[in-house]
Chains A and B, each alone.
Chain A
Amino acid sequence: MKVEAVPFYAILVAAVTGGCWFVLRYEFYRFKDPKLRQFCDPEISEGTQRLGRDVMFLRDDALQVGDIVRFRTARTGAETTSRVVAVAGQRVAIVAGRLHIDGVEVKDPWGKRANAADVVPDLFVPEGCVYVLNDMRWSNHSDRLDSRAFGPIPVRSVEYVFSPKDGGG
């Protein structure tokens, strides 16, 4: 093997390794939800395609506030998509339709159309779980499809993760 070819092969090996890593970690996911408009930023509806991060290697603390997650639990019964608003150890309260984290009202950049009469008990987000809320807080039964209806969800129930930035990934 000629010495001059070493950088070429090194780049080739790095490219192949990086490609394998990308294929293992990411996947283009096409949303099948009907047009519920649960999310405002980025807007997601039926047919929207986003680059989702595969969660096989996801650690319990890898999810961040703002991530959109696709998950399934016994309580939801089917694949459900929602946005992370609080992580393990945080105290979540919804008072008069406004989100409070650890006793402080959060200027929630995504929440729209909340209902002041909604009854949501205060909870600590348990270890290994996250609290998810839909952006459109009170339309199209959206309050039935997030943690207000089924509590915090285990991180291990998440199937895909989409970051809040447009395009995901």
Chain B
Amino acid sequence: MVPIEAVKSREGLAYLGGAALAFLISALLIAGGIERYLTEDALREAVQAYHRDAPDARAKLVELKDARPGDASTRVLLGCFELERAEDADRLGVAERLFEEALGLEPGRTSASVGLAAARLRLAALKAAEGRAREAASVGELIDRSGLDASDPDVVALRAGMEVLRGRPEQALQLLSSPPRTTPSRAGQGAWHWNRAAAAILARDGDALEAALPAYLLRRLPLPAESQNDPNGPPGDAARLLTMAYRVSLADPAARPPTTEALTQRLERAAAAATLRAGGSGLLRGRYLPPGREEAAVQNALGMAQARLERWADAAESFEQASRANPEEPLYMLNMALARRRQAEGIDAATDAKGRTAAFQRAGEAFRRLCESLAGKEGREATRVLAATSGASALLAGGDVRGAIVLYRTHSTGHPNPAEQARDLGALLDHAKDKACVDEYRRAISLNHPETAALERRVRVRSRR
């Protein structure tokens, strides 16, 4: 046996000693490597679970944090996890405490400072206006105390967020005017685009939608999932941001582009981003179309831009989709009916009399549906009367006099100007050569209509029929 032979001589002992030492060192290295592997494995698994949004991601991160009491990075990781998923002050508070713990363990840690500033900014956003500005300013002091690099994209995004919360969107836009020179993290880039979109919306910048699209693309969850926590509650942040961006870009008079071509370009881009489009197996929602009531607002904004460009058929289609997405809001139905009416007016009677008639009838039908939806609703009388008046004139232009009379008679009750109502009804009956028009004209005269003289002449003429 080699060891027995080796101890018989000094050389053998030396070789044996050397071998034993080498073996011991190797064993220690292997044991250290295995321990490091297992430790790194736990970290690796936790990080992967975090990025894959595994169901046990939080448990793994908490376990990792508890297993490494002196490690700031685990607290930063868990803090980022909580920050991404926080929807209320409680969870934001949890994230804030984790980042504070990380800073307590490692005072100069940049990621902990940035995370803490982000958590406090989001907490500030939940406060009322006065408190919001004050809290945002305190975040600025935190950033200054932390000695963070001012050119760091994450820091620039934070400062822009501060300016937005302080009600200074122009300053925020200036900070975010040029893209970051170094590559930020996904969360950092998301914050950069988000703050830019928010600032553009507040500043009523026509490029708000261009800023909002990448901001949404970098969100953690897709649109429907963001809004699904409470189907009857307020929509998720991303849905609200996108909706406001569409509104500002397309329908806000303050953000109106200088030329028709510019508006057309903006509209085409927005429509491609939002519209339902044909896919391999039927219609697909646009990638940037928020669900529910927000969809209605987006479709309405598209319709407003199309109306501005006098594309009445497209506008009517957009308003109709808005009305389908939110049947409770009569504004969309009113817009649709008005667009149909303008579409009808644009058809030349000399070249297409039938088409013009049919278009007016469609417009009249739209107004009728609106009147029926508003019937009996408090506070909607003025809109109903307007719809009845416009609908009656549309049906009249479409050759349906009787329909116009029925519509107006049924839905003009509660007219703010009874003399006007009587005169209009009289005019409609007159069109139908109905003698009842005389009674209505007389009623208008008794109510001191401004055109009393003309009405009296009509009464005399109609009475002789």
Contacts and interface: CB of A to CB of B under 8 A. Distances in A.
Interface in B215-273: 217-222, 269, 272-273
B33 to A, nearest CB: 14
A149 interface: yes
Nearest to A72: B52
Given A73-B53, A118-B272, A126-B183, A141 B284 contact: yes
B24 to A, nearest CB: 20
B213 A156 contact: no
A103 to B, nearest CB: 12
**Looking at A74, A88, A122, A150, which has the most chain B CB atoms within 10 Å of its CB?**
A74
A56 interface: yes
A75 B220 contact: yes
Contacts of B183: 88-89, 124-127
Nearest to B186: A126
B346 interface: no
Contacts of A123: 189, 214, 217-218
Interface in A80-135: 88-89, 117-119, 121-129
Contacts of A150: 217, 222
Contacts of A157: 48, 51-52
Interface in B287-326: 287-288
Nearest to A147: B217
A168 interface: no
B213 A119 contact: yes
Contact of A73 (B52, B213, B272): B52
Interface residues of B, number: 34
B18 interface: no
**Looking at B53, B180, B217, B284, which has the most chain A CB atoms within 10 Å of its CB?**
B217
Binding site secondary structure of chain A: loop
Contact of A126 (B188, B210, B287): B188
A139 B53 contact: no
Nearest to B285: A144
A121 B214 contact: yes
B50 A156 contact: yes
B161 to A, nearest CB: 18
Given A126-B189, A141-B279, A119 B51 contact: no
A154 interface: yes
Interface of A: 56, 71-75, 77, 88-89, 117-119, 121-129, 139-141, 143-144, 148-152, 154, 156-157, 159
Interface of B: 41, 44, 47-48, 50-53, 179-180, 183-186, 188-189, 210, 213-214, 217-222, 269, 272-273, 279-281, 284, 287-288
Given A122-B214, A126-B185, A156-B48, 6 more contacts: A89-B183, A119-B272, A123-B214, A126-B218, A154-B51, A157-B48
